[in-house]
């Protein structure tokens, strides 16, 4: 009888424990990095995917640019480059695609879904017709707002007489937009700073503009030195300040600590865009940052590529490596990790995954050390690391030609979607529709 009672108590405990587990919050579905499909989209010319965002309905949208007017492109009638927006469901089925632009060169670089469900899209335009209304010079930042179905609501151009290119954007905590890219300060003659006049700069600088929901400029600022300074990522801090990250080979004006050639260059600005502080990270060779995200502990992660093996870079596997650094809120370097092989391996994007790790996408020419294969020239490369930067898994995707991944997203169902461009028609690709196609990879 005592044995039966003990058994019954154990059974009851296990049953209650199981019930508690089943009625708790479900664990997130996390991709194991298994390649489930590789697709390409485009027409007979050049078609590229640049940016992806998971949408509130469980699917995703991709922004890039297209030169084609046939194949998968349905509403275009010339061979100039236009912004190209594609909407997919959660199973990566194409629902619709739309193009925007004029008769000249217009290329989309970044997209976000806004709190109203519509999309903000940014890149550059050389047109002054079609969907574009003005052009101030060679190229302008071109910002457009669409509804959730991709219908164009408004568009604005920002720039001067030179080549000014929009690269990255976010929605701010006060429901404005922060956009950033490269300003040709030499051509602007020092214009581009609202409330601050500076003619000391030259070449290309980080140019940040805060705009309202109709595209009106709230303020604009530029940061940099006498050479080439290019931003690729923005985050807003919990206190309302901004961090802009990219690459710089300047060592004057706003840049105080260049470590050699190009460095990761981080700018901290207050809510009005005034420069609070700046930091450089890298070694004596070329180091270029490509993205920044907040970590779960109040710090930040920056990813880019490095050719260095000294100063801040603790290891280089050969040629260029993916370089991931963690910094504090005050810019102090906490740790750094390098990933790659003996050839050229570069990242283009980083996101936080639902299980507390991080996913990086880019391209690789290596087949050794951290890489297990190379399918020919550049492959699209996707890797997963934990919160300490330790490599968990990596995947190469492509064929015998050039294949790049530029961005990726994690969907609500746990899938990872990476996008970029491909010139291959073998290996993981079954066809090529033109010169280059938009590449789409789904991992479960």
Model confidence pLDDT, tens digit, residues 88-136 = 999 999 999 999 999 999 999 999 999 999 999 999 999 999 999 999 9
Element holding 84 (H helix, E strand): strand 82-88
pLDDT of residue 197: 56
Mean pLDDT by 10 residues, the chain (444 residues): 36 34 57 95 98 98 98 93 98 98 97 97 97 94 98 98 97 98 93 72 92 97 96 97 97 94 97 97 98 96 98 97 98 98 98 97 98 96 97 98 98 97 97 97 97
Burial grade of 335 (CB within 10 A; 0-12, 13-18, 19 or more):
exposed
Residue 22 lies in a domain: no
Q: Which of 161, 167, 168, 169 is nearest to 139 (CA)?
A: 161
Domain of 318: which CATH number?
2.120.10.30
User: Containing domain of residue 221, as a range?
Assistant: 33-443
Residue 145 lies in a domain: yes
Residue 335 lies in a domain: yes
Model confidence pLDDT, tens digit, residues 170-180 = 999 999 999 99
Residue 81 lies in a domain: yes
pTM of this prediction? 0.93
pLDDT of residue 190: 87
Residue 21 lies in a domain: no
What sign does the dihedral 196-202-205-210 (CA atoms) show?
positive
pLDDT of residue 26: 61
Asked if 53 and 117 count as a contact pair (C-beta separation under 8 A), the reply is no
**Number of domains the chain is built from:** 1
Residue 395 lies in a domain: yes
What sign does the dihedral 273-278-283-285 (CA atoms) show?
positive
Residue 223 lies in a domain: yes
pLDDT of residue 18: 30
Q: How far is it, in rounded angstroms, from Cα 45 to Cα 435? A: 5
Residue 304 lies in a domain: yes
Asked if 440 and 49 count as a contact pair (C-beta separation under 8 A), the reply is yes
Element holding 13 (H helix, E strand): helix 2-23
């Amino acid at each position: 009888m005592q044995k039966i009672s003990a058994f019954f108590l154990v059974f009851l405990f296990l049953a209650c424990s199981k019930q508690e587990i089943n009625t708790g919050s479900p664990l997130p579905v996390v991709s194991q990095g298994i390649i489930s499909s590789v697709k390409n989209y485009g027409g007979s010319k050049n078609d590229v995917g640049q940016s992806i965002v998971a949408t509130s309905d469980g699917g995703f949208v991709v922004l890039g640019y297209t030169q084609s007017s046939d194949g998968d492109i349905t509403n275009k009638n010339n061979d100039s480059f236009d912004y190209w927006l594609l909407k997919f469901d959660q199973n990566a089925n194409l629902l619709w695609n739309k193009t925007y632009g004029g008769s000249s060169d217009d290329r989309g670089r970044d997209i976000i879904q806004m709190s109203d469900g519509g999309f903000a899209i940014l890149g550059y335009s050389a047109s002054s017709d079609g969907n574009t209304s003005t052009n101030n010079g060679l190229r302008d930042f071109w910002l457009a707002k669409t509804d959730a179905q991709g219908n164009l609501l408004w568009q604005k151009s920002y720039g001067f007489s030179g080549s000014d290119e929009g690269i990255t954007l976010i929605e701010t905590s006060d429901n404005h937009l922060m956009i950033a890219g490269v300003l040709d300060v030499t051509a602007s003659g020092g214009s581009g700073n609202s409330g601050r006049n500076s003619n000391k700069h030259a070449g290309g600088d980080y140019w940040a503009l805060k705009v309202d929901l109709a595209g009106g400029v709230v303020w604009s600022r530029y940061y940099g030195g006498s050479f080439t300074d290019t931003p690729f990522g923005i985050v807003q801090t919990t206190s309302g300040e901004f961090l802009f990250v990219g690459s710089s080979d300047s060592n004057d004006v706003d840049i105080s600590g260049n470590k050699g050639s190009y460095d990761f260059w981080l700018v901290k600005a207050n809510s009005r865009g005034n420069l609070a502080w700046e930091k450089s990270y890298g070694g004596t060779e070329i180091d270029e940052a490509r993205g920044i995200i907040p970590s779960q502990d109040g710090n930040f992660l920056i990813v880019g590529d490095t050719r260095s093996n000294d100063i801040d870079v603790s290891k280089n596997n050969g040629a260029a490596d993916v370089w991931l650094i963690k910094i504090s809120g005050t810019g102090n370097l906490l740790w750094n990790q390098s990933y790659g092989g003996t050839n050229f391996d570069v990242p283009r994007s980083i996101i936080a995954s639902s299980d507390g790790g991080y996913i990086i996408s880019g391209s690789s020419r290596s087949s050794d050390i951290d890489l297990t294969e190379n399918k020919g020239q550049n492959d699209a490369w996707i890797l997963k690391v934990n919160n300490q930067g330790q490599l968990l898994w990596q995947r190469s995707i492509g064929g015998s030609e050039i294949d790049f991944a530029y961005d990726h997203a994690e969907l609500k169902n746990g899938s990872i979607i990476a996008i970029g461009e491909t010139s291959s028609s073998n290996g993981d690709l079954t066809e090529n529709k033109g010169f280059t196609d938009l590449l789409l990879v789904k991992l479960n």
